[in-house]
Structure 1
Amino acid sequence: MSTADAPLPEAPVLDGPPPRILMIRAPYYRAIVDGMTVSAQALFATVGAHVETVDVAGAFELPQALGIAMHSRTRFDGFVALGCVVRGETDHYDYICDSAMHGLMSVALEHGICLGTALLTVDTIAQAEARSAETGANKGAEAAVACLKQIVLARRLGAA
């Protein structure tokens, strides 16, 4: 099934209060990240989630921002990281993608947080557009679902 033909995901059923979510965005490719943001926010709205959004300079800064959020006075139930990296002519793409994804997972594992990630790593803008469109498999919505499913798990296991 192609990305364009995939259905939009549905939010899981949550027990307990509406979750508080921090969405960290790297809007270097603004239209792409905005498309993922709109779909993620729409999905969070279906469960009454309270979403706070912050922007960082680029994908490389996503894990740093997530780490800073671990020291915030505000308690968040879950986190979503959104960004896009498009392959260029140098190795820069590989370093950024690997560092950003590894950094996000390191923070998530170290702090036991509920994290959904939509860091698009694509060869072309067209691929990114297909993954951030209002219809089809919007990766922002998928990241929101992943975050919510982790929250469901954390609450079920008494970790939230």
Structure 2
Amino acid sequence: MATQLKNLSDFSHTTVPTGTGFKFGIVVAEWNAAITGSLYEGALNTLKAHGVSDDHILSVTVPGSFELTVGAELLLSKQPELDGVICLGCVIQGETRHFDFICDAVAQGLTNVGIKHSKPVIFGVLTTDNQEQALDRSGGKHGNKGDEAAITALKMAELAASL
């Protein structure tokens, strides 16, 4: 596996824009809270480290990953000054097809919200085979996808501002 020994959250190869002046929403799923809490801390700390002030970050929770789409839609509808929304969740494969339906619905839903509002809506949802993979990607040996989602939000907000 290509990621076996690699920290995927290494951004030394790229330029990360400053977040000064940008406003972001973060929507976090409560389901798999230990994982999503780590993703949230990573995203929040990364935004702050790149100049986004506390009063320019609006965080809300939703019950599960399926509800991330409505959470992002509500944020962008009620807070149109946001420059982007970071959506954080974790769906772990089980014995049924539930995993496939949830992952597909969330990916499509978040894409549609971003297109509707012409704003970055970032897919920071872990879709793993097991708990260990989720832990490895939420602050473990493969980095923190919350960090990656925040960097993506910064880059996309900068792109939108530059056009």
The TM-score, its normalising length taken from structure 2, stands at 0.87
> Where does 1:83-94 land on structure 2 (aligned, <5 Å)?
83-94=89-100
Query: Does the alignment pair 1:13 with 2:13?
Result: no
Cα distance in 2 for partners of 1:102, 1:45 equals: 29
Task: For structure 1, list consecutive stretches of 5 or more residues without a partner in the other structure.
Answer: none
Q: CA deviation at 1:74?
A: 5.5
Choose 74-83 or 132-141, whichever is displaced more. 132-141
Write the deviation string for residues 39-74 of structure 1: whole angstroms up to 9, x where unpaired. 111110112213221000111111011111222146
Alignment: residue pair count: 156
Cα distance in 1 for partners of 2:4, 2:119 equals: 28
* Residues 37 and 74 of structure 1: CA distance in aligned 2, closer, same or farther (over 3 Å): same
Cα distance in 1 for partners of 2:38, 2:27 equals: 14
3-state secondary structure, aligned to 2:37: helix
Aligned-residue CA RMSD (Å): 1.9
Residues 9 and 145 of structure 2 are in contact (CA less than 8 Å); yes or no, is this contact kept in structure 1? no
3-state secondary structure, aligned to 1:109: helix
Write the deviation string for residues 73-102 of structure 1: whole angstroms up to 9, x where unpaired. 462111100000011111111111100110
Give, as a single letter, the amino acid of the residue that structure 2 aligns with 1:8: S
Residues 3 and 137 of structure 1 are in contact (CA less than 8 Å); yes or no, is this contact kept in structure 2? no
3-state secondary structure, aligned to 2:77: coil
Runs of 4+ in structure 1 over 3 Å off: 7-11
Residues 91 and 128 of structure 2 are in contact (CA less than 8 Å); yes or no, is this contact kept in structure 1? yes
The TM-score, its normalising length taken from structure 1, stands at 0.89
Choose 33-42 or 129-138, whichever is displaced more. 129-138
Of all paired residues, the percent bearing the same amino acid is 31
Task: For structure 2, list consecutive stretches of 5 or more residues without a partner in the other structure.
Answer: none
> Where does 1:43-122 land on structure 2 (aligned, <5 Å)?
43-49=46-52, 50-73=56-79, 75-122=81-128
Aligned to 1:152: 158
Residues 76 and 82 of structure 2 are in contact (CA less than 8 Å); yes or no, is this contact kept in structure 1? no
Aligned to 1:31: 34
